[in-house]
Each structure stands twice: as structure tokens, then as C-alpha cells.
Structure 1
Amino acid sequence: MPLAITIWVLNSVLGLMDGVFFSVITAVQSVVSWPPANNLLGSLRQIRGLGVVVLVTGLLLTGMFATNIFGQWALRQWHRVLSNIPIVKSIYNSVKQVSDTLFSSSGNAFREAVLVQYPREGAWTIAFVTGKPGGEAAIHLSGDYLSVYVPTTPNPTSGFFLMVPRADVIVLQMSVDEALKYVISMGVVAPPVQAAALNRNPVG
């Protein structure tokens, strides 16, 4: 069953990439009227998996472009243009700020898995620490609080944002990846118990 699901997922991704690539070829063929070019584009449509190759090549070229001096300058200009467009700038700046915070190597977001009581006292679930409360919310909270994200099961991309006292949080020794697997599997795939957790919470 795992092998069949893996093959199905890979085949679906391959079909999706090919579908996008074929759509681009069709759009180009509708514009280009030169027969040799149309024949070449038509032959490319017959190559299965070419969309994935083109996508990977495009990602590599984009990464090489973004890492050089000219690429950095072009990215700064692009950010400046988007930051000056009404309505667009509010969405773009908000998403950029969240992504920079979540994926920054020096940040603390999603670096730690914890246990919290949710949705009621006595019921526990896995959450991920995203930082500490800030702004006006922090002013109204007395004591040491943590900001945590509680993912839903089996889709962890949706969830709930909570601000809870640090004293009510149990830090887990499992990695974030292991905790995500635990959540996605609905508790079926339990990560191995770390030695540190056994020493801190001895069995029996």
C-alpha cells in the first residue's frame, strides 16, 4: 500500500507538471505561425516528463540568477515596485513578512514541538511554537506567554493560533518533522521516545 500510494502521488505530480507544460506549448503554438517551430513544439508534447525537467531547470536558473549581484538588484527593484502598488502592497508585504519570519534560519518559528491543552482542559494536542505575543496583545497579557500554532488533522496547513502561558506548555523532545508525521497520521505513526524524555518523565 505505501508503494502504491507513493507511485500514485509521483504519477499525479508528473501529470500536473506535464499538463502545465503542455498548456504553455499550446499557447505558444497559437501565437507562432512558423511551421518548423510548430512541428518542434508538437514533438515536445510527446515527451512524457519533460515538464518536470523544464521546471527543475527553471528553478536552478532562477536560483543562480537570484544569488548574483545583478539578480539581487533586480529582486530589490521588484520588491520596491510591488510595495508601491495600492492594495497589492498590503497583501504582498504581509505575506513577505510572515514568510521571512517562518523560514528565516535565525528565527524561532516552528523550531519546537510542544503539548498544549486544547480545545478544553484535560485534552492535549501537539502544537508548534511560533514565538512570543507582541504588540497590543502582549500588553494585555501578564506573565510569560508563548505563541503556538495548533495544526488540524490530517491537513496541518490549517489550524489555530493560540497564546498560552509558558507554564501550561510541555516541551517535547521530538523534532518538528516527527511531530508533523504524528499529526498527519492522526496519532498512528508515533515517533520513538527520546532518552531525555524518559529521564524527565519516567514510565511507572
Structure 2
Amino acid sequence: MTDLPTQADPPPTEPEAPTSASFPFFHSVFRFIRMRVVQGLFLALPVAITFWILHWLYRMLRDVLIDPMAVVVRWLSLQIWYDPTKLDQAAEQAAELPAWFDYYAAPLIALVFILGLLYFFGMFFQSRLHRLLDWILLRVPVVTHIYSAVRKVFVALQEQQTNSSRFQRVVLVTFPHTGMKAPGFVTSTCRDRLTGKKILCVYVPTTPVPTSGYMLLVPEEEVSDLSWDLNETLQAIVSGGISVPKDVDYYGTEAEARLAQTDVRSPPGPEAR
């Protein structure tokens, strides 16, 4: 009698490692805590960086301007209030300024001095001297890259402050081709010589630097007013569309909106099946 072959026992299986799906509650709690920590980071970092920059500016002004001015004020006070024949003895007594001067008077004097200096510099803004300074710094090797980058930042800030008076309207214009629209700012208007139609000069800024862009000549009937204000539009452009209002008037007329709804609801034709 021959022995029948027996079926080999299956090899032992290793226990599966626990995954996040095995503990949905703890996974949800971990995701919630991680989200809150990231949100707290986004809230705290801008505030911390802002105060760090302010502290750094104050320390720099203190070391470069306030302390030297304190020495000058101390010297002037010695010249005015003390006997010239006893200046050495008076200087030893006034070697350390009182705390009220260090914390209140010196920063105030420095602030007044800085404002006066900036007012003096403002007299030469966009003058021949200013243009000459730009011409020199933009042609010096190495310096030109640093100065050009810093200058563009301040030009952008200046443009943002003055755009509210120069930009007449915020509009949507078909750009760069049919089927797409881009926000733009109406800077001025003109008229076509043959038809007499009103032509708008529209400035379409680029992302993320709105100081560069395109100037388009567009008939007025081919643009639609945008419900966003200037600041909302600039925020949307700089953020690349991350920070935008919830609603937008993309379709300029009700007829365009109805046509778009009809295209969405209509079933596909036989050729599309």
C-alpha cells in the first residue's frame, strides 16, 4: 500500500504592520493637531518676523545714529551748562546720561533728525541728481544687481501707493487668447480716428511682480468691469490666485452667462459619444 502524498503546510505569514487605517481615530486626531500647528505657524511667523525686523532696525539706528548723537548732545550740554575751565570735571560727572535721555530723548531726537534728512532727500527725488545716482549705481559691477533688486521693490511699493489715483477701473479683458480672461487696470482712454469708438488703455500686470506687464488697446465694449477693488486685484495677482475673493463677475453680460450655462447643461452630440 503506497502512502498518499500529503499537502505541504503553507508557510507562516508575518503579521502585518499596523497602518494609519487601522487606527482611524488616532489618525484623524494627528491630522487635526498637525493642521492646527501649521496654522499657528502661519499666524505666528509673520508677526514674529515683523517684530524681529523692527527690533533689528531699532538696534541698527541705535548703534549708528542714536549713540553718536547722544555723544554730540552730551558735548553740547557740557559747552552750554558748565564752566569751560572745568570741562574735564564736568565730563567725568556727565559720563553717563540719565535713563530718561537714553530711552526717551535720544530716540525722539534721532527720529526728528531722520525725518528732516528724508525731507531733504525728498527734494531731490526724480531730479537730475537722482537720475545720475541711478545711472552710476546701475552700471557698477556687483552693485548693480543688489541696487536693481532693492530699487524694484521700492518702485513696486511706490506704484501701489499711486495706482489708486492713476487706475480708473478694474476690468477683465480677453487675454492672451479667446476663452481666457485676465484682470487689468484702465489707465487712460482714447478714440479711434475712423469709427470714433472709445478705446481703453488697459494695463495687464503679470504674476508675481505686478510692476511688469502688458499695455493693451481694447475697445470699451470688449471689456467687462470686475467687482474686485484695487487691493483685492493686486493681492490676487501677487499671490498667483491663492488669495482671491469668493465671487467674480467673469461673464460681462447676462446673455454670456446664460450661454455658458446652456453649454454646460446641453448633452454631448453623437460625435462626442
TM-score scaled by structure 2?
0.43
Which residue of the partner structure matches residue 177 of structure 2? 121
Which residue of the partner structure matches residue 226 of structure 2? 172
Whether 1:21 aligns to 2:74 is no
Aligned to 1:18, the other structure's residue is in SS state: helix
Aligned equivalents of 1:37, 1:167: Cα separation in 2:
75
Aligned equivalents of 1:140, 1:51: Cα separation in 2:
64
Aligned to 2:97, the other structure's residue is in SS state: helix
Aligned equivalents of 2:42, 2:234: Cα separation in 1:
18
Aligned equivalents of 2:246, 2:74: Cα separation in 1:
62
Q: Say whether the 8 Å CA contact 2:224–2:252 is kept in structure 1.
A: no
Aligned equivalents of 1:142, 1:89: Cα separation in 2:
42
Which residue of the partner structure matches residue 130 of structure 1? 187
Aligned equivalents of 2:251, 2:97: Cα separation in 1:
64
Matched length: 167
Q: Say whether the 8 Å CA contact 2:169–2:185 is kept in structure 1.
A: yes
1:117, distance to aligned residue in structure 2 (A): 3.6
Which residue of the partner structure matches residue 181 of structure 1? 235
1:24, distance to aligned residue in structure 2 (A): 1.9
1:16, distance to aligned residue in structure 2 (A): 4.8
For residues 18 and 142 of structure 1, do their structure 2 counterparts lie closer, same or farther at Cα, with a shift above 3 Å needed?
farther
- Gapped regions of structure 1 (runs ≥ 5): 63-74
1:3, distance to aligned residue in structure 2 (A): 0.6
Give CA deviations for 1:182-204 in whole Å, capped at 9, x if unaligned. 11221122212268979743562
Which residue of the partner structure matches residue 39 of structure 1? 97
1:164, distance to aligned residue in structure 2 (A): 1.7
RMSD of Structure 2 on Structure 1 (CA): 5.2
For residues 51 and 9 of structure 1, do their structure 2 counterparts lie closer, same or farther at Cα, with a shift above 3 Å needed?
farther
Q: Which moved more, 1:177-186 or 1:17-26?
A: 17-26
Aligned equivalents of 1:149, 1:117: Cα separation in 2:
12
Q: Say whether the 8 Å CA contact 2:172–2:250 is kept in structure 1.
A: no
Whether 1:87 aligns to 2:128 is yes
Tell me which amino acid in the other structure corresponds to 1:171: D
Give CA deviations for 1:118-163 in whole Å, capped at 9, x if unaligned. 4x323432222222259xxx8899742222332232233x222513
TM-score scaled by structure 1?
0.54
Tell me which amino acid in the other structure corresponds to 1:183: I
Which residue of the partner structure matches residue 68 of structure 1? none
1:9, distance to aligned residue in structure 2 (A): 3.9
Residue from 153, 167, 170 that aligns with 1:110: 167
Aligned equivalents of 1:139, 1:12: Cα separation in 2:
58
Q: Say whether the 8 Å CA contact 1:147–1:161 is kept in structure 2.
A: no
Q: Which has the larger radius of gyration?
A: 2
Which residue of the partner structure matches residue 203 of structure 2? 149
Aligned to 1:132, the other structure's residue is in SS state: strand
Which of the pair has the greater relative contact order for Cα pairs under 8 Å at 6+ separation? 1
Whether 1:163 aligns to 2:221 is no
Aligned to 1:187, the other structure's residue is in SS state: coil
Which residue of the partner structure matches residue 11 of structure 1? 51
Aligned to 1:125, the other structure's residue is in SS state: strand
Aligned to 1:39, the other structure's residue is in SS state: coil
Q: Say whether the 8 Å CA contact 1:115–1:170 is kept in structure 2.
A: yes
